[in-house]
Amino acid sequence: MSEFRHDFRSDTLTKPTEAMRAAIAAAEVGDDVYGEDPTVLALEAEGARVFAKEAALFCTSGTQSNLIALIVHCERGDEYIAGNWAHLYRFEAGGGAVLGSIQPQPLPQKMDGTFELDDLAAAIKPDDPHYARTRLLALENTFGGQILPAGFVEAAAALARENGLALHLDGARVFNAAVGSGRTVAEVTAPFDTVSACLSKGLGAPAGSLLLGPAPLIKKARRVRKILGGGLRQAGILAAAGLYALEHNVARLADDHRNAARLAEGLRRHTNAKIEPPHTNIVFLEDTPEALADIQQRLAAHGIGSGLSYGSRLRMVTHLDVDEEAVDAAIAAVADRA
Ligand SMILES: *Cc1c(COP(=O)(O)O)cnc(C)c1O
């Protein structure tokens, strides 16, 4: 059990609600490795419809769906390009290299998640036996809770296409990007061949991600998922939660974004930390390590969880299980009035 009364460490901490548990309990199930779980099939069909992609695959985690995407796009000895802070490059244990023999080509990435298009152009290798074959560009949206500028995505995608690269989006929090920018996930992800989207973050499901894309790639992805040990049997138990989340927990992300804005605003009043207005549900406080440790301790003393990221920033994430009252409790804790 978490020690925190209000836990802002991550939106992965959400627990299934009574209503979601009821949907799980009522799920019709079958053996999904046989293609016979009706609830998984319904989730995959609904995912494909919502993202306007041909097909979808229910994966155990975002790490797994990103890795599957790398492996279906790239052969052994190929390379993918991503920002040097991209989750799939930095925080997924090097899976593409370990299990796919795929070489990453990281680009210097800015705090807003973008990189220089000149750097992208320079990283795409010519057809020459000295080089790995550059096959794929992977972007991430949201990046640190920030919505990638649509103009950047379009320009990077166009450059990648001109050079014959495929495009993957790590959309762990792509629903936040969509709700935060007033667009649909289909619009946000239109430039990409494949998309990985987490059901277990802001959407509140206990587990699972969707990999979306063209039917032939998703067919190949199903084989890779089996290789990775991700073929689950009566997975409808989990897919029911995902379906429930898609139906009930997307529009309400706007509440999380409002709560994050309120949190940022309140913390700005009571600390000297630098706090940018959040685009979506993640608030970062920048200050000295000592000042951040002090803020984190004041929060913890009032039962409020926050996370240090690389020692240089304090991260607070809003989600289903922290409401306005929790936000106000966090602000009061930092103001030492609680
Ligand atoms: C969480 C996350 C993932 C991985 O998802 P898991 O389900 O935790 O494996 C991938 N990319 C980004 C940007 C994430 O935030």
Q: Name the residue of 63, 64, 109 to mutate for ligand 1: max ligand atoms within 8 A of Cβ.
A: 63
Q: How confident is the model at residue 5 (pLDDT cuts 50, 70, 90)?
A: very high
Per-residue pLDDT tens digits for 235-250: 999 999 999 999 999 9
**What pLDDT, on a 0 to 100 scale, did the predictor assign at position 337?**
56
If we measure between CA atoms, which residue out of 36, 16, 73 comes closest to residue 242?
Answer: 16
Ligand 1 atom at minimum distance from 170 CA = 11
Give the sign of the dihedral formed by CA 96, CA 41, CA 37, CA 39.
positive
Residue pLDDT, tens place only, 35-67: 999 999 999 999 999 999 999 999 999 999 999
Q: Residue 2's pLDDT is what?
A: 80
Q: Is 287 in the pocket of ligand 1 (CB under 6 A)?
A: no
Give the tokens for residue 106: 């990281």
Tokens 């046989």 map to which residue?
34
pLDDT band at 255 (very low <50, low <70, confident <90, very high): very high
Here the tokens at position 105 are 């080509």
Question: From edge to edge, which strands make up the β-sheet containing 133-140?
Answer: 55-59, 209-213, 194-198, 166-171, 133-140, 78-83, 103-107
Q: How far is the CA of 63 from the centre of ligand 1 (A)?
A: 6
Alpha helices in 163-228 (DSSP H): 174-181, 185-189, 215-227
pLDDT at 16 > cutoff 70: yes
Predicted local confidence at residue 338, as pLDDT? 46
Residue recorded with tokens 């200050």: 287
Give the integer Cα–Cα distance in Å for 9 and 31.
Answer: 35
- Say what the alpha-carbon torsion angle 274, 278, 282, 285 is, to the nearest 10 degrees: 0
Whether the per-residue pLDDT at 291 is higher than 90: the answer is yes
Q: Which residues of 80-103 are buried (b: 16+ CB within 10 A; e: fewer)?
A: bbbbebbbbbeebeebbeebbebb
Average pLDDT over residues 278-301: 96
pLDDT value at residue 253: 98
On the 0-12 / 13-18 / 19+ scale of CB atoms within 10 A, 247 is: exposed
Ligand 1 center–CA 246 separation, angstroms: 18
| Per-residue pLDDT at 144 exceeds 80 | yes
pLDDT (mean) for 186-203: 98
In tens, the pLDDT along 293-315 reads 999 999 999 999 999 987 789 99
Mean pLDDT of all residues in 205-216: 98
Confidence band of 336 (pLDDT split at 50, 70, 90): confident
Give the pLDDT mean for 259-280: 97
3-state secondary structure of 46: helix
Mean pLDDT, range 179-196, rounded to an integer = 98
Where would I find the beta strands (DSSP E) of the chain?
Answer: 6-7, 55-59, 78-83, 103-107, 133-140, 166-171, 194-198, 209-213, 282-286, 304-305, 307-309, 313-317
- Residue 138, pLDDT above cutoff 70: yes
Please state, in angstroms and rounded to a whole number, the distance separating the CA atoms of residues 92 and 11.
18
Residue 266 CA to residue 262 CA, distance in Å, equals 6
Q: What does DSSP assign to residue 148?
A: P
239 lines ligand 1 (CB under 6 A): no
pLDDT of the residue at 333: 96
Give the C-alpha separation, 246 to 262, whole Å. Answer: 25
